[in-house]
């Protein structure tokens, strides 16, 4: 049974704390997306799917087909269902009912915000930006709409604007959604300690049985892992598996721990469990990598082929996957020049996101354009984001361009977190 969110004493206490996205004392800037909003009044429980909630709302619609409140809730439930199943076809269902809601009522800020969430999931970030702005024009006090706006601004590389929007969001409602976004922005700016602090607050602010709370706990474990605290990360992943044995991401997290210790056979077993529960590209890529490192080349190729199939499937269902495919191809030596062109097109269209610069840098490097690679990787590093893969790629690029001090710094960090990179990239 889906649970209606009840504000606990923890949230009441947290709401009295003044949170700042930007800490002037340290000069450091401080998402998993949830669908919780007081006006939507729905949150997913990991012990069941969104199916029953969707069925109830559909029944209600037969009695009140023009009720925009029910339509908005149904749209939100379809978004959650897409999240739970990793099936992009549910985004089309969400879009249909939300557009119907807008046809019935133009002054409908929640429908605009939910449509913005669909566009985010499909990686149509400029459309998400426009929809969130339209939502906030109708209701400038909607924290949920600010969340969509922040996510769109971050994905477009509008980091200064995102910080301002996020501060407004947390001022309106300091809760799981705002704390988790603070954590992500702090992480982007290299403030690992501040990011961990904010994600802990997100976990404490959420309902213990809600999917987005478990997602935040998973993200907290990842932050611990990237900070070099593998023991704490392992404990958190294991806690999630024990409490929520169907939660696929926790198995992938534990597999990453096994990869760190070069226990590839155990990693393969765990990644296979994750894939069986939720077949997402990142799990399949990691599974293929584990097979590669374990010398099981045919199994690795099978996993990588499934990645390409899934990414194509997403694209056919309206999810923009060009950058993800470009980076995957560059990592595995597939159509690297074409992948470089795709990354450059994204930059030419105005994206200033560090992810885009990262993809452009690595595809340029793999296609032999080291000058462009160095320029783009410098842009990707400009916030101070301490991502192991970004640092590894940066190290390899600077190694090639003769900046050995920078190369050593970045490679040391990356290989301390993921020592298997060196063996993996030699084989790829």
Residues 205 and 291 in one domain: no
Residues 271 and 242 in one domain: no
Residues 298 and 160 in one domain: no
| Continuous segment of H or E residues that includes residue 137 | helix 125-138
Region of 377 (left: φ > 0; alpha: ψ -120 to 50; beta: rest) is alpha
Count CB-CB contacts under 10 A for residue 9: 7
Residues 272 and 217 in one domain: no
Residues 80 and 192 in one domain: yes
Q: Name the residue range of residue 168's domain.
A: 9-246
pLDDT for the residue 428: 65
- Residue 364 maps to a domain: yes
HSE-CB for 377 with a 13 A CA cutoff: 30
Residues 233 and 270 in one domain: no
pLDDT over 80 (residue 246): yes
Q: Which of the four pLDDT bands, split at 50, 70 and 90, describes residue 211?
A: confident
Give one DSSP letter per residue of 297-333, joined into a string.
Answer: HHHHHHHHHHHHHHHHHHHHTT---HHHHHHHHHHTT
Least confident interval from 19-23, 278-282, 381-385:
19-23
Domain count, the chain: 2
- What is the average per-residue pLDDT within 261-284? 96
- What does each C-alpha distance from 418 to 256, 264, 397 come to in angstroms? 9, 13, 18
Residues 19 and 149 in one domain: yes
8 A C-beta contact, residue 274 and residue 283: yes
Residues 294 and 172 in one domain: no
Going by C-beta distance under 8 Å and a sequence separation of 6 or more, which residues neighbour residue 311?
281, 321, 324, 325, 328
Domain-terminating residue out of 219, 246, 273: 246
Assign 3 to helix, strand or coil: strand
Structure tokens belonging to residue 257: 């721990």
- Residue 130 maps to a domain: yes
- Residue 396 maps to a domain: yes
Domain-terminating residue out of 246, 272, 293: 246
Assign 210 to helix, strand or coil: strand
Residues 152 and 240 in one domain: yes
Count CB-CB contacts under 10 A for residue 130: 16
Cα separation of 131 and 112, whole Å? 5
- What does each C-alpha distance from 106 to 93, 110, 239 come to in angstroms? 20, 11, 45
- Residue 1 maps to a domain: no
Closest CA to 191 of 413, 32, 30: 30
- Residue 395 maps to a domain: yes
8 A C-beta contact, residue 115 and residue 134: no
Residues 417 and 344 in one domain: yes
Q: Which long-range contacts (CB under 8 A, 24 or more apart) does 320-328 make?
A: 320/122, 320/123, 320/124, 321/123, 322/346, 323/355, 323/356, 323/359, 324/281, 326/359, 326/363, 327/358, 327/359, 327/362, 327/363, 328/281, 328/285
Give the CATH number of the domain where residue 125 resides: 1.25.40.10
- What is the average per-residue pLDDT within 54-81? 96
Residues 342 and 236 in one domain: no
Domain-terminating residue out of 246, 281, 314: 246
pLDDT for the residue 47: 40
pTM of the full structure: 0.89
Interval 328-354: pLDDT, tens = 989 888 888 999 999 999 898 888 999
Cα separation of 140 and 74, whole Å? 23
Q: Which of the four pLDDT bands, split at 50, 70 and 90, describes residue 35?
A: very low
Closest CA to 272 of 260, 254, 298: 254
Residues 105 and 214 in one domain: yes
pLDDT for the residue 425: 85
- Residue 253 maps to a domain: no
- Residue 196 maps to a domain: yes
Could you tell me what percent of the chain has a pLDDT over 90? 78
Interval 78-135: pLDDT, tens = 999 998 888 999 999 999 999 999 999 999 999 999 999 999 999 999 999 999 999 9
- Residue 251 maps to a domain: no
Cα separation of 81 and 355, whole Å? 27
Structure tokens belonging to residue 202: 């997100």
Interval 214-241: pLDDT, tens = 999 999 999 999 999 999 999 999 999 9
pLDDT for the residue 83: 86
């Amino acid at each position: 049974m889906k649970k209606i969110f009840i504000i606990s004493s923890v949230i009441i206490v947290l709401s009295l704390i003044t949170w700042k996205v930007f800490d002037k004392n340290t000069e450091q800037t401080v998402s998993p997306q949830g669908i919780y909003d007081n006006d939507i009044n729905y949150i997913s429980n990991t012990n069941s799917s969104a199916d029953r909630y969707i069925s109830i709302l559909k029944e209600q619609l037969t009695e009140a087909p023009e009720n925009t409140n029910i339509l908005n809730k149904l749209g939100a439930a379809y978004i959650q269902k897409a999240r739970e199943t990793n099936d992009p076809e549910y985004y089309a269902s969400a879009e249909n009912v939300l557009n119907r809601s807008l046809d019935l009522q133009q002054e409908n800020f929640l429908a605009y915000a939910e449509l913005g969430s669909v566009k985010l999931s499909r990686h149509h970030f400029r459309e998400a930006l426009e929809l969130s702005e339209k939502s906030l024009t109708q209701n400038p006090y909607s924290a949920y709409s600010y969340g969509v706006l922040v996510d769109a601004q971050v994905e477009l590389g509008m980091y200064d604007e995102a910080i301002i929007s996020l501060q407004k969001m947390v001022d309106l409602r300091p809760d799981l959604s705002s704390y988790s976004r603070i954590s992500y922005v702090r992480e982007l700016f290299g403030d690992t300690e501040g990011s961990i602090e904010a994600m802990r607050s997100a976990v404490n602010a959420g309902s213990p049985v809600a999917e987005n709370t478990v997602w935040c706990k998973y993200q907290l474990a990842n932050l611990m892992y990237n900070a070099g605290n593998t023991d704490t990360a392992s404990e958190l992943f294991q806690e999630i598996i024990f409490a929520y044995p169907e939660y696929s991401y926790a198995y992938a997290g534990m597999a990453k721990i096994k990869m760190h210790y070069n226990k590839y056979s155990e990693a393969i077993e765990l990644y296979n469990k994750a894939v069986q529960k939720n077949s997402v590209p990142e799990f399949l890529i990691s599974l293929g990598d584990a097979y590669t490192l374990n010398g099981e080349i045919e199994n690795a190729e099978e996993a990588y082929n499934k990645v390409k199939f899934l990414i194509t499937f997403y694209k056919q269902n309206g999810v923009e996957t060009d950058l993800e495919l470009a980076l995957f191809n560059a990592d595995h030596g597939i159509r690297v020049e074409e992948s470089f062109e795709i990354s450059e097109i994204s930059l030419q269209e105005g994206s200033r996101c560090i992810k885009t610069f990262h993809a452009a840098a690595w595809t340029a490097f793999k296609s032999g354009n080291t000058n462009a690679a160095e320029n783009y990787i410098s842009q990707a590093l400009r916030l101070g984001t301490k991502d192991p893969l970004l640092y590894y790629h940066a190290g390899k690029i600077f190694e090639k361009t003769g900046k050995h001090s920078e190369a050593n710094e970045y490679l040391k960090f990356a290989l301390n977190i993921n020592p298997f990179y060196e063996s993996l990239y030699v084989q790829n």
